[in-house]
Amino acid sequence: MAQLEQTIKARKTTQVAASKVLGVSQGRVSDLARGKVEKFSLDMLVTFAARLGKPAKIVLFKA
């Protein structure tokens, strides 16, 4: 989640512009920027990463 926020900030874009890229409302981008983890599923965060050109990779290790 923090990486997504950093990517948006690095692009120096507004929350409105980011909302168009992510396909959500500006309010949802605000929730992301404020770190409201409970409002996002893992699936949604992975989708956001892909839309920002940062596809997620999940690696499982033997415990």
| Residue 12 identity | K
Mean pLDDT over 33-60 rounds to 93
pLDDT-derived band at 56 (thresholds 50, 70, 90) equals confident
- Name the CA dihedral angle for 25, 50, 3, 62, rounded to a multiple of 10 degrees: 130
pLDDT-derived band at 30 (thresholds 50, 70, 90) equals very high
Mean pLDDT over 50-56 rounds to 93
Distance from C-alpha of 61 to C-alpha of 31, rounded to nearest angstrom: 31
